[in-house]
């Protein structure tokens, strides 16, 4: 019982990457672009955030590097899917493979180890007095901001129009390609922030498999949220709780005798499958989701 | 013809980016590639190793391809491959009349692969859960399940770093060097799926469902059944990739970090894309990655890590996502030609 309560502080942390990446992806999907390369974005930006923090001694610059990495990879994905009208799913898989390879190569080249630990100097400091990560506040704020942007501003209306019916949007003079690119870059930037959080704030290491499927759990969260950033925040707590449970229970002495460690580590993935299977009906997605737009 | 050209251009792009990364790291990329190709193709022993490494990639490539033909994005080969490997190995514990072990191992491994694909189909058809999400989650569950079995149940009591080895009677006989008769499984499966997809009614239905589900439905084809079939066949193929890696290749065991199973499942995606989701194209794509994998061992000796190959792979997949990029290049060149004479 006590162990279950002790999960909550960890769950607050675990909520961050799953929410941030999902909220960004929600924004992109409203504009009609799917990016399943979130895992690769998180891997790459976690790595580059750590490198910058390590090289400059400033975790803050590290966060910015993570953000910029995510935005750049988003731009790359946007270029392929919007400008070149490529296959968004294949591009996303390619980004995941590329992230894994580049980070595996990079950690080996820089530190000569598979998963080097980061020194405390390079971590993001906790909020003074509260003992929690600043990301615990930043994440709900960004979810709220994204919700506001999407549903309360003219920009959001245009982004949604471009995802629903790009031809009509084009006819009334909305720049389809530019808005789609912007949405993917926005989504990528939030994914990059999630990555920077993973290495600099939570796990304090980098490796080729650092997100351990969290990029895909974030995609499950997007489906769960029915493309509402505020519901994605709720989903982030839910999926984050199970993620934290897997981590916390694995370290409870005594339990490991009864339940093998490896089974505890399955919890987040099984829980994600169950939540996606049970809790949701079919979400309604924008009509032009995943479709490149070609002017007639 | 254009399809082959696009695949070759994507390969070239991957190799070039790989070279750029190596050069940026202050290594001699062309020396490394030269080592790669002589290491992979230089003599009969090297060639046998290359072929041996391509065999499981054929099978995981087929998993992705048969799914893609049905309009699915099946990236579950990794988990199915792991379970196929561990189930095949476990068959070494059964007491069976001599000569039966290999067949039983392949049969049970296939069953495990199909069983692991079943929830993907059920979730997709009854709950509308995207196979991209369900397969990745199942991959991770399979990863931890395999790790549990390998470390806690099947590990060798003397050599702690791996499981017990496959008993002699359950191994594929050696053909030449590292190459064993496990090639029959890979080539057989590729030929079978080629026949199935193009010369069998149900295979035709799978392709029709993938090309245009609405039209297929209107023609009285059950799209759901086509999807289930594609997922189950893919599961069997991926499981056999794991099985032949254990039963047909040194060290005839699974290492405790699962390293000798590696990323065979994910590698299959690039193989299938290069091979244009065609069983015969996949034989070629798998051979290319077999060259990279064998040669990479040589590059490893020159101080270049194996992850280099993943970078090359990633670039190739991204390039395959945007065939229009290549067409764009051609159009640019055409435009230049127009300008020059004027």
In chain B, what percentage of residues exceed pLDDT 70? 92
How far is Cα of residue B33 from the mean position of the Cα atoms in its chain? 23
Neighbours of B155 (CB within 10 A): 18
Say whether pLDDT at B340 is over 60. Answer: no
What average pLDDT does the structure give for chain B? 90
How do the domains of chain A map onto residue ranges? 2-278
Residue B323 pLDDT class (50, 70, 90 cuts): confident
Nearest to A80 among B273, B310, B322 (CB): B322
pLDDT tens, residue by residue, B168-216: 999 999 999 999 999 999 999 999 999 999 999 999 999 999 999 999 9
Residue A212 CA to residue B190 CA, distance in Å, equals 32
Size of interface A-B (CB pairs under 8 A): 144
Say whether pLDDT at A250 is over 90. Answer: no
Say whether pLDDT at A178 is over 50. Answer: yes
Helices (H) and strands (E) in chain B, counts: 14, 2
Nearest to A97 among B145, B317, B325 (CB): B317
What is the average per-residue pLDDT within B158-166? 90
The first and second tokens of residue B4, run together, are 């082959």
Neighbours of B202 (CB within 10 A): 12
How do the domains of chain B map onto residue ranges? 58-281
The reply to whether residue A97 touches residue B134, judged by beta carbons under 8 angstroms, is no
pLDDT tens, residue by residue, A194-246: 999 999 999 999 999 999 999 999 999 998 898 999 999 999 999 999 999 88
Q: Where are the beta strands (DSSP E) in chain B?
A: 174-176, 179-180
CATH fold of A2-278, please? ABC transporter involved in vitamin B12 uptake, BtuC (1.10.3470)
pLDDT tens, residue by residue, A132-171: 899 999 999 999 999 999 999 999 999 999 999 999 999 9
Say whether pLDDT at B342 is over 60. Answer: no
Q: Give this prediction's pTM.
A: 0.91
Say whether pLDDT at B335 is over 80. Answer: no
Mutation target to probe the A interface, by most A beta carbons within 10 A, among B22, B256, B322 is: B322
Residue B341 pLDDT class (50, 70, 90 cuts): very low
Mutation target to probe the A interface, by most A beta carbons within 10 A, among B210, B268, B318 is: B318
Query: Which distant-in-sequence residues (6+ apart) come within 8 Å of B214 by Cβ?
Result: none
In chain A, what percentage of residues exceed pLDDT 70? 95
Nearest to B271 by CA among B30, B66, B20: B66
Instruction: Flag whether residue B137 sits within 8 Å of chain A, measured between CB atoms.
Output: yes
Say whether pLDDT at B94 is over 50. Answer: yes
């Amino acid at each position: 019982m006590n162990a279950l309560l002790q999960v909550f502080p960890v769950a607050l942390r675990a909520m961050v990457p799953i929410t941030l990446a999902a909220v960004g992806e929600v924004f992109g999907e409203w504009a009609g672009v799917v990016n399943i390369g979130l895992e690769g974005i998180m891997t790459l930006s976690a790595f580059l955030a750590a490198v910058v923090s390590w090289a400059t001694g400033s975790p803050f610059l590290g966060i910015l590097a993570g953000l910029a990495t995510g935005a750049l990879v988003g731009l790359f994905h946007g270029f392929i899917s919007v400008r070149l009208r490529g296959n968004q799913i294949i591009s996303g898989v390619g980004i995941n493979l590329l992230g894994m390879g580049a980070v595996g190569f990079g950690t080996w080249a820089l530190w000569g180890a598979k998963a080097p630990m980061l020194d405390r100097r390079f971590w993001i400091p906790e909020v003074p007095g509260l003992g929690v990560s600043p990301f615990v506040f930043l994440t709900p704020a960004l979810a709220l901001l994204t919700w506001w942007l999407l549903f309360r501003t003219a920009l959001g209306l245009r982004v949604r129009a471009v995802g629903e019916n790009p031809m009509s949007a084009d006819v009334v003079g909305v720049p389809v390609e530019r808005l789609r690119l912007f949405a993917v870059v926005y989504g990528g930037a939030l994914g990059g922030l999630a990555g920077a959080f993973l290495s600099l704030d939570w796990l304090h290491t980098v490796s080729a498999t650092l997100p351990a499927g969290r990029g895909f759990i974030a995609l499950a969260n997007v489906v769960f949220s029915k493309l509402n950033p505020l519901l994605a925040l709720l989903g982030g707590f839910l999926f984050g709780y199970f993620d934290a449970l897997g981590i916390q229970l694995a370290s409870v002495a005594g339990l490991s005798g009864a339940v093998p460690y490896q089974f505890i580590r399955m919890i987040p993935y099984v829980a994600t499958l169950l939540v996606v299977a049970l809790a949701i009906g079919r979400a309604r997605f924008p009509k032009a989701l995943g479709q490149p737009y070609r002017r007639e | 013809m254009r399809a082959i050209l696009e695949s070759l251009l994507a390969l070239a792009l991957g190799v070039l980016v790989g070279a750029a990364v190596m050069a940026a790291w202050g290594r001699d990329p062309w020396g490394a590639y030269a080592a790669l190709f002589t290491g992979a193709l230089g003599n009969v022993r090297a060639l046998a190793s290359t072929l041996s490494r391509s065999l499981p990639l054929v099978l995981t490539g087929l998993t992705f391809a048969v799914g893609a033909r049905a309009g699915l994005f099946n990236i579950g080969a990794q988990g199915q491959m792991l379970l196929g490997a561990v189930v095949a190995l476990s068959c070494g514990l059964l007491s069976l009349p001599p000569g039966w072990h290999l067949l039983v191992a392949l049969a049970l491994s296939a069953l495990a692969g199909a069983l692991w694909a079943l929830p993907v189909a059920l979730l997709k058809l009854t709950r509308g859960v995207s196979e991209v999400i369900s397969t990745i989650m199942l991959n991770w569950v399979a990863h931890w399940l395999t790790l549990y079995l390998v470390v806690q149940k099947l590990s060798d009591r003397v050599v702690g770093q791996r499981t017990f080895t496959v008993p002699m009677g359950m191994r594929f006989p050696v053909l030449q060097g590292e190459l064993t008769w496990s090639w029959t499984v890979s080539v057989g499966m590729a030929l079978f799926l080629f026949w199935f997809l193009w010369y069998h009614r149900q295979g035709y239905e799978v392709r029709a469902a993938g090309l245009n589900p609405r039209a297929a439905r209107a023609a009285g084809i059950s799209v759901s059944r086509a999807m289930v079939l594609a997922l189950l066949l893919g599961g069997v193929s991926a499981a056999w990739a794991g099985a032949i890696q254990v039963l047909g290749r040194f060290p005839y065991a699974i290492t405790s970090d699962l390293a000798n199973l590696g990323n065979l499942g994910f590698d299959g995606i690039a193989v299938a894309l290069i091979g244009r989701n065609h069983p015969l194209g996949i034989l070629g794509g798998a051979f290319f990655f077999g060259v990279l994998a064998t040669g990479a061992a040589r590059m490893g000796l020159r101080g270049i890590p194996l992850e280099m190959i993943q970078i090359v792979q990633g670039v190739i997949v991204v390039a395959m996502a945007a065939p229009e990029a290549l067409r764009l290049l051609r159009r640019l060149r055409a435009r230049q030609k127009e300008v020059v004479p004027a």
